[in-house]
Amino acid sequence: MTRIRLTALALAALTAAAAHAQSDKIKVGLMLPYTGTYAALGTAIENGFKLYVEEQGGKLGGKTIEYFRVDDESDPSKAVENANKLVKRDNVDVLVGTVHSGVAMAMAKVAKDNNTLLIVPNAGADAITGPLCSPNIFRSSFSNWQPAYAMGLVAAERQKHKTAVTITWKYAAGDESVKGFKEGFESKGGKVLKELNVPFPNVEFQALLTEIAATKPEAVYAFFAGGGAVKFVKDYAAAGLKDKIPLYGPGFLTDGTLEAQGAAASGMLTTLHYGDDIATQKNKQFRLAYAKTYKLQPDVYAVQGYDAAQLLAAGIKAAAGDLTKRDAVVKGMEQAKLDSPRGAMTLSKAHNPVQDVYLRQVDGQSNKAISVAVKQLADPARGCKM
């Protein structure tokens, strides 16, 4: 390449960077599932994110927020291409996504390779704040380990179960959720007898429900979410198991799903970093505003979207609106103390929420927090070198 051409290229890059820095807009790339079993989760995250931005007058740190959207279909095989549409084609300042752990891990790699700011508003893949942790990657939700480990403790210590069977979709989130449950349960003397799986996003549970009935564990731990959680909880009750072997899970099993699950979910105990009835001013205000804006009840996914926007706002504010001042953005986000609908939330060194994990019970259409299962639980961040 000639020297003149190189100089022209460098100039073009500088001009683009300057235009970016001076822009009065911040481009947010929402990469979420809008179709498939996790579609409702993606919509709730987007709603929550936009609710916070609207509460700030459509601006964060004085900058207008401009949205770009991609439906990731919860399909890891399309994830790199989808993330690149936002990063390279739309040139977004920040990526926000996604729900599915496999897709989110691919997003984290794209974000690392391009040094793009990424906020994960759901996917719990332990690796994101473990071996893949990075100064430009943040999570406003949970690690798969957090609610699962807490439920393992609850099942053994509070519920006094000695044996359990686990059942999940076979992919990173299900595998890690089962691993976390097993760690908590077996550390208190429980024993996991069998680990059952179906491929994601299959919902043919009949053969495995028959196997659970034949194994006769004292408890069942299940990881499913969205449409799959609705079907599993209903099938479990229809198979006559609900009154024989108590069904537990991380709160995704009953969050955003209760209307469709009806009586099949009544009384179920789950663990999660949110409960519908948390009696803070913030939660009351959030729930009212969300219901008024979207004519829907919010769930944990909406909370995580709302907090992703709060976290971004903290970074933009710390950099006085200039996202090219990456060190200031990162510091602002790292030091953020969020007044979340879930309660107080800070981030660990690996950029994962440190938060109370509640024990919740289904009461009608509500996941009621009946106690704090583990206070201010931090993910162990195994493998994170930051």
Residues at the interface with ligand BEZ (CB under 6 A) = 99-101, 122-125, 144, 173, 225, 252
Nearer to ligand BEZ, 147 or 217 (CB): 147
Helix 39-55 to helix 226-238 angle, to the nearest 10 degrees? Answer: 130
Task: Outline where 69-170 has alpha helix (H).
Answer: 79-84, 101-114, 145-153
CA-to-CA dists, residue 362 to 176, 248, 266, 271, 369, angstroms:
24, 11, 5, 11, 9
Nearest residue to ligand BEZ by CB is 173
Q: Specify the residue for token string 């793009």.
A: 116
Residue 172 Cβ, how far from ligand BEZ at the closest point, in Å? 7
What one-character DSSP code corresponds to residue 276?
A: T
Which tokens in the block code for residue 275? 């409960």
Give the separation between CA 193 and CA 68, rounded to whole angstroms.
46
Residue 350 Cβ, how far from ligand BEZ at the closest point, in Å? 16
CA-to-CA dists, residue 110 to 20, 123, 383, angstroms:
20, 16, 19
Nearer to ligand BEZ, 225 or 377 (CB): 225
Nearer to ligand BEZ, 124 or 343 (CB): 124
Give the separation between CA 314 and CA 333, rounded to whole angstroms.
6
Residue 140 Cβ, how far from ligand BEZ at the closest point, in Å? 13
Nearer to ligand BEZ, 98 or 315 (CB): 98
Give counts: helices (H), strands (E), the chain.
Answer: 12, 15
Give the separation between CA 185 and CA 143, rounded to whole angstroms.
18
Which tokens in the block code for residue 332? 């602002």
What 3-state DSSP class applies to 110? helix
Task: Report which residue type is found at 249.
Answer: G
Phi, psi of 345 (to 5 degrees): -140, 130
Nearer to ligand BEZ, 330 or 357 (CB): 357
Nearer to ligand BEZ, 100 or 182 (CB): 100
Nearer to ligand BEZ, 146 or 348 (CB): 146
Nearer to ligand BEZ, 145 or 252 (CB): 252
Residue 184 Cβ, how far from ligand BEZ at the closest point, in Å? 17
Strands 269-272 and 247-250, bridge-based pairing: parallel
